[in-house]
Amino acid sequence: MMATRILWRQEMRFRLASPSFLLMGAIFLVVSGLAFWVFAVTMAGKGLLTSEITFSGMLFWMAFLVVASAVSVKLLGDEQERGTLELLLTAPVSEIEIVLAKAMAGFCLIQLLVFPAVMYPWILKALYPAWQGVDLAMWLTGILLLSLVSGLITLCGLFWSQVFRSQTAAMVATFLTGAMVVFRGSLRSWIGGTAADGSAGLVAVASHVASFSAGMLDSRPLVFYVTAIGALFFVNIRILQLARYRRVSGGVNVAVFLLFAGILAGMVNYLALLHPARMDVSTLGATPVLREASRILDATKIPVRLILLAPAGDSLATTARRRVEKYRFVHSALQVDIVDQGSEIARTRELVGRYKIRESSVLIVACGSRYRVLPLRALERTAADGGHQGRRGSTFAAALDSELRSALRAVTVESAPVVYFLTGHDERDIADFTEYRGYSEIAGIIRERHAEVRSLLLESQLPITNDCAVLVVAGPARRLAAWEVAKLRDYLSRSGRLMVLLDSGQPTGLESFLEEWGIRLGQDRILDSQTTSLLPGSRDRSAAVGLGEVPVIRYGKHPITDPLDGLVSTFVLPRSVEPLAGNGSGRYVNDQADKPRVAALAESAAKSWAEVDFNQNPAQFNEGYDRRGPVPLAVCVEKGVASALTMDIKPVRMVVVGDSQFVENRCLTGANEMFFINALDWLLERNEPEVALSGEIGLYTLQIEARGRIVTFLLIVVAVPFALVGLAFFVAMARRDRRVQGGMGRKGSPRV
């Protein structure tokens, strides 16, 4: 390895001391910087990831191929032109050491020239520290792809420089070979195929950029690059051996070795195609949305098809394709297909007729005869409107994930559970769209999670319907009659599931009923120390910000509240709800299994108190009358154990919350939605807690003003390349001074 290190060091010193090499790098930085500036600054990203803007530009890869071809061809080409290759081959250095040293030097030189270009996002990050559009994992996977391609082009240049004596011919051959590797998907689209054809193959760097720059590591291209680099490495060694020994049979040996290397590499890549693997590192392994999709698909034995039908090049289609690609290897039952409706006319007509599509750019989720069509434009409008008051986030990708997850549930489950909302007592209405009273938003969310939502009016002669999976009593303003309470008792006796949301200061008629289940309903209202004024007896929340709000960050240990750790739920004038003493709240299964087990879910802050005087205005804590915080305001109840010993009898479950306003349309902020949905999932025995969807990681969202655009242009397109030009000028002057000093020394030396 000593010889390898010496040869590598010599090659690096020679190239870095060459002004032409540095000037070539400066030209590359001008081209790549201009491409980055146009997409990132003047075109605002067009819905692309920051890493995609950095690594996927056509000008970037064209300039990269020119630079990489020129550098790699000169590694052995200059040796041949100077006549030093024969001298090198006669030295006590093996062919492996020569090829390894040259390949390492070429790889390092290419990386040195390219590295400033991939630092452009971090330059923007330094200019705008508050910008969060750079994801380190995506950036590193993009560099990994660039490094693999650099190694491949370097060895291709070594190969062609040994085949052709002319460096120009070798450089053209290397450039064309690299173009076939980099732009295969684009070339297929130019000759009548589709660019998407390359995404599932091995040779298509332009297509691989979409997945690598999104943080997706695919085993197939990784295996291709590694095997191609390995095969070319040993082919270059055999050609050098042929040049050293000049045997008659050498050419045949090289051809046979090349054939066997190609066959071996082909077999390895074929196995990689049969057993692909993909890992998402964009969130460092934390992919809750994909894990939940996998759990949904575990429940079906019929394959599910995910078909993206959209024109290539559209910004929405680009984002949708990136998101859909992340689902490709989520589950064996999921088949992902991407169709370009601009070029695949016959396939587009087939899908339009089968799924009754009436608009462009859609995502189809199909399982057997059941299917759902998700229009991308409608999802974009949903994201632009704030995703139902900010519920899904503010990006198209987050809205797409949410709708896709809902569609997977809808097509994989034969029948959906029915959630009934009690009516007849002025309860919250699921058809009410008003901000501070309606429940239309939460009803829509329940439907998205594949459950039917209906209203229920109790009848004295009929029991509660058997198809009721969960009954929700949401803020009744009038007392329930005794016969209605009896209906609830009968419903629970049939392993029913009940959610009760009761406001403070309102008659319920459920006090004695809840005591039977070990729950005490307080005749009070919980206030926070920051509350300054009240509206006694008013059911409508005032538009004043903070009026009667009680923030909650203290949660009990339970599957409902475990995902809420660190999040804030906001209740409005809640009442206390707490377990009665001796209610059988043992932790173990066999501990009083025939009695209700009550667990507290949420408590108010330590600075809160339970006010018993509703007419006191302004409200204040009265020692001896009011109760200091923390005060419980939500509990859950379970009676019976679902096990083999109970012959699969479902346990009775109930959730009681001392507020119904926290689920109103305008109040679904913070952790309020997750609190309600997690409670509903626990009642339905769904083992999939609500996943908080956020905006797409690494999406370019930076908006730069006019002055900032000029500064960015001068820094990226002018300053960085000019620095390399200045370095080239300094190197040229240093070499000139060295030659002058060397000439003077020879001139003044005495003759012998």
Distances (CA, A) of 323 to 23, 172, 337, 352, 396: 40, 37, 12, 22, 10
Q: Are residues 331 and 228 in the same domain?
A: no
The whole-number mean pLDDT for each consecutive block of 10 residues of the chain, a chain of 752 residues, reads 84 86 90 85 66 81 91 87 78 86 92 90 85 80 89 92 88 90 56 38 64 76 88 87 67 74 82 76 56 76 88 76 77 86 87 86 87 84 53 59 79 83 93 89 84 90 90 94 94 93 90 93 86 43 55 91 85 92 47 74 90 81 85 92 52 94 86 90 73 56 76 87 87 73 53 37
Q: Position of tokens 């029913």?
A: 496
Task: Say what the pLDDT of residue 78 is.
Answer: 82
Question: Could you write out the three-class secondary structure of 584-649?
Answer: CCCCCCCCCCCCCEEEEEEECCCCCEEECCCCCCCCCCCCCCCEECCCEEEEEEEECCCCHHHCCC
Q: Which long-range contacts (CB under 8 A, 24 or more apart) does 261-264 make?
A: 261/231, 261/234, 261/235, 262/231, 264/227, 264/231
Torsion of CA 346, 347, 351, 353, to 10 degrees: 20
Is 98 part of any domain?
yes
The residues facing 372 across adjacent strands are 365
d(CA 439, CA 362): 29
At 596 the pLDDT is 87
In single-letter form, the type of residue at position 271 comes to: L
Residue 304 belongs to a domain with what CATH number?
A: 3.40.30.10
**Cis peptide leading into 630, omega within 30 of 0?**
yes
Residues 16 and 111 placed together within one structural domain of the fold:
yes
Of 183, 176, 227, give the one whose Cα is nearest residue 204.
Answer: 183
CA separation for the pair 116, 33 (Å, rounded): 9
374 and 494 both lie in a single domain = no
Per-residue 3-state assignment (H helix, E strand, C coil) for 42-66: HCHHHHCEHHHHHHCCHHHHHHHHH
Contacts of 224 (CB under 8 A, 6+ apart): 202, 203, 269, 272
Distances (CA, A) of 492 to 463, 582, 609, 640: 11, 21, 33, 12
One domain, residues 127 and 149: yes
Q: Are strands 304-310 and 362-367 parallel, antiparallel or unpaired?
A: antiparallel
Cα 598 from Cα 547, distance rounded (Å): 31
Whether 386 and 477 map to the same domain: the answer is no
Q: How far apart are the first and last CA of the chain?
A: 42
Phi, psi for residue 456 in degrees, rounded to 5: -135, 125
Do 611 and 666 lie in a common domain?
A: yes
d(CA 685, CA 496): 12
Please tell me whether residues 256 and 398 are part of one structural domain.
no
The CA distance from 500 to 715, in Å, is 61
Position 669 scores a pLDDT of 78
- Put simply, whether the predicted model's pTM sits higher than 0.95 gets the answer no
249, exposed or middle or buried, with CB in 10 Å at 0-12, 13-18, 19+? exposed
Which residue, among 465, 459, 504, has the nearest Cα to 481 in the 3D structure? 459
pLDDT at position 428, please? 92
d(CA 619, CA 505): 15
Judge whether 395 lies within some domain.
yes
Choosing from 684, 713, 728, the residue where a domain stops is 684
Cα→Cα distances 684→219, 438, 651, Å = 39, 23, 11
Inter-residue contact 663 to 428 (CB < 8 Å): yes
pLDDT of residue 87: 79
483 and 530 inside one domain? yes
What residues have CB less than 8 Å from 203, skipping those under 6 apart?
A: 180, 181, 184, 224
**Is 306 among the domain residues?**
yes
Eight-class DSSP state of 277: -
**Is the separation of the CB atoms in 655 and 634 below 8 Å?**
yes
- Name the domain count of the chain: 3
453 in Cβ contact with 446 (< 8 Å): yes
- The token pair at 593 is 């299994």
CATH number at residue 579: 3.40.50.880
Residue ending a domain, among 409, 441, 474, is 409
In a domain, residue 460? The reply is yes
Is residue 699 in a domain?
Answer: no
Within a domain: 744 = no
DSSP assignment letter at 685: T
Same domain flag for 574 and 435: yes
Which of 358, 386, 409 represents a domain boundary (last residue)? 409
Residue 656 inside a domain? The answer is: yes
405 and 467 belong to one structural domain: no
628: domain range?
A: 415-684
- Cα distance between residue 462 and residue 289, in whole Å: 42
| Sheet strands side by side (includes 370-375) | 334-340, 304-310, 362-367, 370-375
Whether residues 467 and 580 fall in one domain:
yes
Give the sign of the dihedral formed by CA 257, CA 259, CA 264, CA 265: positive
* Whole-angstrom Cα Rg for the chain: 35
CA-CA distance, 496 to 265, in Å (whole number)?
62
What is the pLDDT at residue 457?
93
- Residue 329 counted as domain residue: yes
Same domain, 248 and 328: no
DSSP state of 704: -
